[in-house]
Chains A and B, each alone.
Chain A
């Protein structure tokens, strides 16, 4: 049960990092910039 915290934090850390990459990529794309 305790390990659920590890899984949640892991998902938060890596999920937000992947999300950030996607977000910046989208902003670049919307600005008509190149990747």
Chain B
């Protein structure tokens, strides 16, 4: 089993790293500040498009405040539009299967979930019309990852002492230059490999026993490709990646894992190019890869030691389950091809760890923002240890930035731990648990962790399709997404405005293996200190009492 796993793991890692390096260089070139960017023919098309929207990128560089407000405004518009369409899908066109209107709390949760790149689903995919699937969720699958990506690029520009850029221009550019072309190529590939793409309604078939069965289908390939590429993760069908139409064979399974990792892996390379230090970009990518390997090998060990293969996807075997499960939580995608709730408790521990750290590549943009946050913390701690003012890329990290860093760092644990604690106390929270005891705590903890980290996968086994869970996780979804994005923009805006400190031989270098080790230690220590108690009470106690 280990041999098969190692072969698949290394093939996947090498291919994805190679593609990510190329994509990262491309992103670094395309998203360079407007003043130094080469203007090609696509750039002229973009410029025309933006001018139609009233945006002249060359004259409208935004401050961090303008950038953040534009981001929120666009999110608000998509949110209102999506919510209204989901509430009235029953009377709107493209509804051949007769899907009903969603109730208010499910519509609220679904809209926030998809707008925040989480795609946590408290309904079955079959409950939506094709209009909802394609024009509401399908659109959000493109828009949601773009939000964190644009913030990530703006923050990197700020660190590189360049203007932050214009939100609308970055928004349009990422969709046109990255998401659409890659989605088109891999969407066609998925269709060729057997993933359905049709607007035809469900078909009724007669089974071998003579029973009638309704088989849902739809524009699955188009949905599937951006679901994985944008680290969205919401399934077209309720069974997500375990459904044979979403994930029909090993080749599609492999492509899905490749797509999940592609953009998160490419961002450190893009960062290196944008700040003019490829070495530092490679260092971050290296540390993220070490963490990814540790997590994936740990999950493989826990599942291979489980003789029952309970909860695992038999079509892809234990290896397919391990890789997919680790990658979907590491890259914050949330697609699932197996029942996470039924896997070994230590596998659950690793899935939770991936989401809690949120830097084991992490989601599109959001993951690399967390890497930068941990890098700031590592620099700050090092500065305290050696008695020098902490500087990152020549910019001093002072009281204001450190306060914002601390808040950014504390928001996810606050949402996860407080949400879990309240749910373990109130009746609708406890009543949803299907497996009382330590495992029940894991179920609730997973739900809030997945929501806050914008992952979206479900531990399942939790009866979360009701008003309490829809509303409580909406808080985690929304604030887990936007507070860190806004605060990171504020930090970047503040750092950009400072004069750079000249670097000398005594300056702390942030592109060396020593800093990589400090950075890795900071991620592990901060993550462990924050979440260890609840992990001991949940998956670890669950394992020890098996």
List A residues at the B interface (Cβ < 8 Å): 2-3, 5-6, 9-10, 13-14, 17-18, 20-21, 24-25, 27-28, 31, 33-35
B217 in the interface (beta carbon within 8 A) = no
A6–B362 Cα gap in the complex (Å)? 30
Query: Would you list which residues of chain B between 76 and 113 have a CB under 8 Å from chain A?
Result: 76, 79-80, 83, 87, 103-105, 107-108, 112
Q: Is the CB of A6 within 8 A of B494?
A: no
Q: Are B482 and A17 in contact (CB-based, < 8 A)?
A: yes
Distance in angstroms between the alpha carbons of A35 and B104 in the assembled complex = 39
Whether A17 touches B486, Cβ cut-off 8 Å, given contacts A10-B79, A35-B64, A35-B65, is yes
> By the criterion CB–CB under 8 Å, are A20 and B83 in contact?
no
Report chain A residues within 8 Å CB of B63.
35
| Chain B residues within 8 Å of A10, by CB | 76, 79-80, 83, 108
- The answer to whether the Cβ of B353 comes within 8 Å of any Cβ in the partner chain is no
In the complex, are the beta carbons of A6 and B404 less than 8 A apart? no
B400 touches A14 (CB 8 A): no
B residues near A (Cβ < 8 Å) are 63-65, 68-69, 72, 75-76, 79-80, 83, 87, 103-105, 107-108, 112, 400, 404, 471, 474, 478-479, 482-483, 486-487, 490, 493-494, 497
Q: How far is the CB of B1 from chain A (nearest CB, A)?
A: 46
Indicate whether A18 sits within 8 Å of B104 (C-beta atoms), given known contacts A34-B497, A35-B64: no
Interchain CB contact (< 8 A) of B72 among A9, A18, A27: A18
Beyond the given pairs A21-B486, A35-B63, 9 more chain A to chain B contacts, judged by CB atoms under 8 angstroms and listed by A's residue number, are A3-B104, A6-B83, A6-B107, A13-B112, A17-B486, A18-B69, A24-B490, A33-B400, A33-B497
Bound Cα distance A31, B400 (Å): 9
Could you list 14 A-B pairs, sorted by A, with CB under 8 Å? Answer: A2-B104, A5-B108, A10-B76, A13-B112, A13-B478, A13-B479, A14-B72, A17-B72, A17-B482, A18-B69, A21-B65, A21-B69, A28-B400, A34-B497
Residue of A nearest to B475 (CB): A13
Closest A residue to B75 using CB positions:
A14
* Total cross-chain contacts (CB, 8 A): 64
Q: Which residues on B sit within 8 Å (CB–CB) of A14?
A: 72, 75-76, 79
Q: What 4 pairs between A and B have smallest CB-CB spacing?
A: A34-B497, A2-B104, A13-B478, A35-B63
- How far does the alpha carbon of A5 sit from the alpha carbon of B494 in the complex, in Å? 37
Residues of B within 8 Å of A21, CB to CB, are 65, 68-69, 72, 486, 490
Contact (Cβ within 8 A) A28 B494: yes
Q: Which residue of A lies closest to B105 (CB)?
A: A5
- Closest chain-A Cβ to B223's Cβ sits at a distance in Å of 25
Q: How far is the CB of A21 from chain B (nearest CB, A)?
A: 5
In the complex, what residues of A have CB within 8 A of residue B474's CB?
A: 9, 13
B493 touches A35 (CB 8 A): yes
Report which residue of A5, A10, A31 has the largest number of chain B beta carbons within 10 angstroms of its beta carbon. Answer: A10
| Beta-carbon contact of A3 and B87 below 8 Å | yes
Given contacts A10-B79, A35-B65, contact A24 B497 (CB under 8 A): no
CA A25 – CA B269 in complex, angstroms? 31
* Residue in contact with A33 in the complex, picked from B83, B479, B487, B494, CB distance below 8 Å: B494
Q: State A24–B72 Cα separation when bound (angstroms).
A: 15
Report the Cα distance A24→B416, complex, angstroms: 24
Contact of A20 with B483 in the complex, beta carbons under 8 Å: yes
Nearest CB in chain A: distance from B90 CB, A: 15
Which one of A2, A9, A33 lies within 8 Å of B471 (CB-CB)? A9
Residue of A9, A21, A27, A33 with most chain B CB atoms under a 10 A cut-off: A21
Docked CA distance A18–B70 (Å) = 10
Q: What's the minimum C-beta distance from A27 to chain B, rounded to whole angstroms?
A: 8
Q: Which residues of B contact A24 (CB under 8 A)?
A: 404, 486-487, 490
User: CA of A19 to CA of B490 in the docked complex: distance in angstroms?
Assistant: 14
The answer, among B80, B486, B497, for a CB contact under 8 Å with A20, is B486
A21-B68, A35-B63 known; A2 and B497 CB under 8 Å?
A: no
Contacts of B64 in A (CB 8 A): 35
Is there an interface contact between B108 and A9, defined as CB atoms closer than 8 Å? yes
With A and B bound together, what is the CA distance between A5 and B215 in angstroms?
A: 36
Pairwise interchain contact B108-A6, C-beta atoms closer than 8 A: yes
Which residues does chain A contribute within 8 Å of B483, judged by CB atoms?
17, 20
Q: Closest approach, in angstroms, between the C-beta of A5 and any C-beta of chain B?
A: 6
Rounded to whole angstroms, the CA-CA distance of A3 and B101 in the bound complex is 13
Question: How far is B103's CA from A34's CA once the two chains are assembled, in angstroms?
Answer: 46
Closest residue of chain B to A24, judged by CB? B490
A33 contact set on B, CB distance < 8 A: 400, 494, 497
For residue B51, give the distance in angstroms from its CB to the closest CB of chain A.
26
